Structure 1
Amino acid sequence: MHQRPAARRDTALWTLIIASAAGFMAALDNLVVTTALPSIREDLGGGLGDLEWTVSAYTLTFAVLLMLGAALGDRFGRRLLFTIGLCVFTAASAGAALAPGMEALIAARAVQGLGAAIMMPLTLTLLSAAVPPERRGVAFGVWGAVNGLAVAAGPLIGGTLTEHLSWQWIFWVNVPLGAVLVPLALLRLDESRGPFPRLDLPGTALVSTGLFGIVYGLIRGNGDGWTSAPVLGGLIGGTLLIAAFVGYETRAVNPMLPMRLFRGRAFSAVNAASLLMFVGMFGSIFLLSQFLQDVGGYSPMEAGVRMLPWTAMPMIAAPVAGALSDRFGGQPVVVTGLLFQATGLALLALVVSPDLSYPELIPSLVVSGLGMGFFFAPTAGLVMSSVRPEEQGIASGSNNALREVGGALGVATMSAVFSAQGGYTSARAFVDGLTPALWTGTAAVLLAAVAAALVPRHTGRVRDKDAPHQDPVTA
């Protein structure tokens, strides 16, 4: 029985509100922890490796389980799995706030990532099912704007809560939101299902354990020694498992990541660019937020405010990037954005010093922020237009997952460079480690620009007009 138009509009509005709020929570927890890291280290102890895991445990589980979460929703019911994911995320947030030590905090962050991986992709499929095609562009635009706001405000919200309450409140804030959203989801969302493919559990296990091994090896390398058995085992074993994952996915009937998509130059290039961009960007923000507090002497909230020229600039640059993409195509805009981002990181590497004043940082932060805005806005169109329409959902999920993997690898890789050359013992030691780490991030983003330059120039110019039918998870 079909709903009346008024009832459909009501359902669509509630779905938009619930999906946007849930997306805000999941996106916020990517960066909200960064400005709280010094306070967490002071309160719970632990070293650089423990701080890396508080970030990477979330991004890694989020990345490798995201496509499985979408498949579970299609198979067992999107409203049901969305609600389960929301409950898991909310409960894990409370667990993180109550964590008595670093091990418990890292475990809770991993469970948070599991909840986000189930919840986040279903926000989009629920929206697609509830909103008429002619209004999806507006609905997806609102969803994307709310998620962008969460990313931009993450360091500021984290710093403000840490300074005026305690670091635990960056996690407690999710609990009342989740407690409100769960009953709303059960009462206001319509149940829907998609195709019923077989779940790719072997593929999920291979990629999860492989990525864990690589990240573990990178994080423990400096502390345990790069030739130690656990580190070599993690790096070599993880690489072999990733190779086995690629081989298995090539032959699987229902692969979580269809390797055939990567035969297209456009799809391969834009995903390589996304992964490398997040390596440089995420690792740099992880270290810079600590530099502002440990070396600059700023409070957590002050550090969050001073990160805004970087994290909030995409809100200004994205509309400009969208207009330029419509006129010239997405590829040159993405390449320009990556060159801006690389220039910003290089400027940071050139100016950081123990006695650096904040005004000296502003130009590099603004240039980096412009780069992010020019990169994010057209990337969704490039991903979508690089595959057939029926493949856009899995293509979007793949791109989002690879970006999260890039974030985890960026934190691990740049922290390994940081701890090999410096440390927390003094301002001079911090800068000695930060400078080569920023150059590493610069190199990663320059490689991303090279990859993006391989995307055919015409990609995205035709199908960008079909935006209402696109899944903007990469926006």
Structure 2
Amino acid sequence: MGQSKWGVLIIMSAALFIMFIDTTMMNVSISALVRDLDTTVAGVQGAITLYSLVMAAFMITGAKLADIWGTKKVFFRGLVIYTIGTLMAAFAPNLAVLLLGWSILEGIGASMMMPATVTYITKAYTGKDRAFAFGVWGGVGGAAAAFGPIIGGFFTTYITWRLGFFMEAFIAAGIFAYMKILSDYKPEKRIKLDVIGAALVGVGLFLLTLSVLIMDPLSNPPVLLLMVAGLVVLAAFWKYEERRKARGEDVLIDVDIFKSKVFTAANLVSIFFQITLAGIMFTIPVFVQQYLHYNAIQTGFVIVPLSIMMFIFSMSGQKFAKYLTPKQIIQLGIVLTFVGLYLVLRVLKPGVEGSDFAIGLALYGTGFGLIFSQITNLAMMGAKPEQQADASGIFNAQKQFGLSLGTAFIGAVLVLGVIHSITRQIYESGLFEGSKEQIKEAVIQWIIKMQQGELNIPPGYHDAVIKIVRASFIDTMKVAVLFMMGVLVISALLSFFLPKGEKAGES
């Protein structure tokens, strides 16, 4: 094997590494981001949500661009955009710059690079070499997700969270330096980009996610209006794509692919499961940093049982195929994740420590790894050969959309639930007469700032308020976990529509 041949694998794996690691690094650094950028926990939640949403909205378009510019040009331009975004995030003085750099530019860049990495590995390798290359590529992505919380926690606690973005920029510079070894795969048939279709799907997904992100019964935002508008726009996208296909014009995606019950079921199982993953990766760090006052590295160690087990079983889950069908492995994974969340729920009581989450999170990670090892292949089985490119783009897009919905929805359940619980208990208590509004406003500001700075309330009320805050976090975290368990039940029901498949070795 020549140096340039394995060089393709190294470059594509390095690109995947930087795309996978930054969200997991930032999830454990929420308190530091709130402090350094003078923002709120809701602001950081919005940044994490927007990053996944941008990737979801542009992923299919990013894949189509290879049929217009060629794979190398798409990868190069995506890397340029991603690197600019990374440097902006590293130097961000406020949340607005972080949103532009990390959430938007990095999201767009990643949506262009991700499909290109798959194309390069598919084109550069065949047979056993391709299987090995995809194994390494996936393993690097899994390792980034697994060790991101520890790396991010270390940087944030002992140096600065900004170092994570500088590290990504350094790796990107190395990729630029060796890009000359990459071939340029020109499209056999050039297509025209379906700009209107891309805009419709982007706007539709944005409106749906925004409707969840701004949920707040106290201020009565137009949640239902935005949700309906998002669904209407996506319905318009569907009809528009059908008409373009009927006229023989290039389409963003072939919507006929959703006529496959297998493909649709696999995507729905996955999207609901991604909601729970994003939910737990956001709510656990917020909980341990607010309730237990953990720093970033301590938070990383709380998350690491989930990450490590997810990595191990996503890589080794195929070994279970000797004994179980793919459908059975997925259903076993759902059961394990449900039990894992149940164990998390059981330890949520006064006196809980970060180590108490270990078994539950490890079981959740094990289940997720098993599902991840099977679900992609099952989804692709539901698509015709000529639909494989669209199927891959849709599957990757729905995963990112699920992550954005999970961060927005489950995050809102926790953050808004805590605020509403505190407000209710303050007004129902007979301890704060004449000072209820002042105390409520002070406590809410303290909470959304991740309990940084002094709690500015009248003397004599501190212990009573802290007791209310701690009880509110326990109670609301339980509600968030119950919501995630409910989402898993939906995923389990949908899994019965998956094909049984065969055990390894069966014909």
Correspondence for 1:243: 235
Equivalent AA in structure 2 for residue 242 of structure 1: L
Q: Does 1:112 align with 2:155?
A: no
Correspondence for 2:478: 435
Correspondence for 1:444: 487
Match of 2:85 among 92, 99, 104: 92
Which runs of 5 or more residues in structure 2 are unaligned? 420-446, 452-468
CA deviation digits over 1:409-431, x for unaligned, max 9?
A: 01111122223321436333332
Partners of 1:94 and 1:172 within 8 A in 2: yes
Residues 116-265 of structure 1 mapped to structure 2, 5 A cutoff: 116-185=110-179, 187-194=180-187, 195-222=189-216, 225-226=219-220, 228-229=221-222, 231-253=223-245, 254-265=250-261
Distance 1:389 1:144, change over 3 A: same
- 1:360 CA displacement: 2.3
Alpha carbon RMSD of aligned pairs, Å?
2.1
- 1:13 CA displacement: 0.9
Partners of 2:157 and 2:295 within 8 A in 1: yes
Q: Does 1:341 align with 2:337?
A: yes
What is the SS of the residue equivalent to 1:308? helix
Partners of 2:30 and 2:41 within 8 A in 1: no
Equivalent AA in structure 2 for residue 443 of structure 1: G
Q: Give the whole-Å Cα distance in 2 for the aligned partners of 1:460 and 1:324.
A: 9
Equivalent AA in structure 2 for residue 237 of structure 1: A
Q: Give the whole-Å Cα distance in 2 for the aligned partners of 1:251 and 1:367.
A: 46
Correspondence for 2:8: 15
- 1:363 CA displacement: 1.7
- 1:293 CA displacement: 2.1
Correspondence for 1:454: 497
Q: Give the whole-Å Cα distance in 2 for the aligned partners of 1:326 and 1:121.
A: 31
Partners of 1:351 and 1:361 within 8 A in 2: yes
> Between the two proteins, what is the percent identity of the paired residues?
27
Correspondence for 2:305: 309
Q: Give the whole-Å Cα distance in 1 for the aligned partners of 2:239 and 2:341.
A: 36
Which runs of 5 or more residues in structure 1 are unaligned? 1-5, 466-475
- 1:234 CA displacement: 2.6
Partners of 2:276 and 2:488 within 8 A in 1: yes
What is the SS of the residue equivalent to 2:482? helix
Correspondence for 1:3: none
Q: Give the whole-Å Cα distance in 2 for the aligned partners of 1:326 and 1:206.
A: 44
- 1:327 CA displacement: 4.0
- 1:354 CA displacement: 4.5
- 1:277 CA displacement: 0.1
Correspondence for 2:370: 374
What is the SS of the residue equivalent to 1:374? helix
Distance 1:384 1:151, change over 3 A: same
- 1:394 CA displacement: 2.1
Equivalent AA in structure 2 for residue 35 of structure 1: V
Q: Give the whole-Å Cα distance in 1 for the aligned partners of 2:43 and 2:211.
A: 13
Q: Does 1:74 align with 2:42?
A: no
Q: Give the whole-Å Cα distance in 1 for the aligned partners of 2:410 and 2:255.
A: 29
Q: Give the whole-Å Cα distance in 2 for the aligned partners of 1:30 and 1:63.
A: 15
Correspondence for 2:23: 30
- 1:182 CA displacement: 1.2
Distance 1:252 1:439, change over 3 A: farther
Q: Give the whole-Å Cα distance in 2 for the aligned partners of 1:407 and 1:379.
A: 16
Correspondence for 1:59: 52
Equivalent AA in structure 1 for residue 24 of structure 2: L
CA deviation digits over 1:341-376, x for unaligned, max 9?
A: 122122212322342023422221111011111111
Partners of 2:302 and 2:357 within 8 A in 1: no
Match of 2:402 among 397, 401, 406: 406
Partners of 1:55 and 1:408 within 8 A in 2: yes
- 1:459 CA displacement: 7.0
Correspondence for 1:294: 290
- 1:141 CA displacement: 0.7
Partners of 2:139 and 2:315 within 8 A in 1: no
Which structure is larger by alpha-carbon Rg, 1 or 2? 2
CA deviation digits over 1:376-428, x for unaligned, max 9?
A: 11112212222223322321221111011000001111122223321436333
Q: Give the whole-Å Cα distance in 2 for the aligned partners of 1:45 and 1:350.
A: 35
Distance 1:88 1:319, change over 3 A: closer
- 1:441 CA displacement: 1.1
Q: Does 1:419 align with 2:415?
A: yes
Q: Give the whole-Å Cα distance in 2 for the aligned partners of 1:143 and 1:61.
A: 23
CA deviation digits over 1:185-244, x for unaligned, max 9?
A: 1x1111112342322221211111111112222222218733x34x44432322221222
Match of 2:275 among 274, 279, 292: 279
Q: Give the whole-Å Cα distance in 2 for the aligned partners of 1:180 and 1:126.
A: 18
- 1:132 CA displacement: 3.1
Equivalent AA in structure 2 for residue 385 of structure 1: M
Correspondence for 1:323: 319
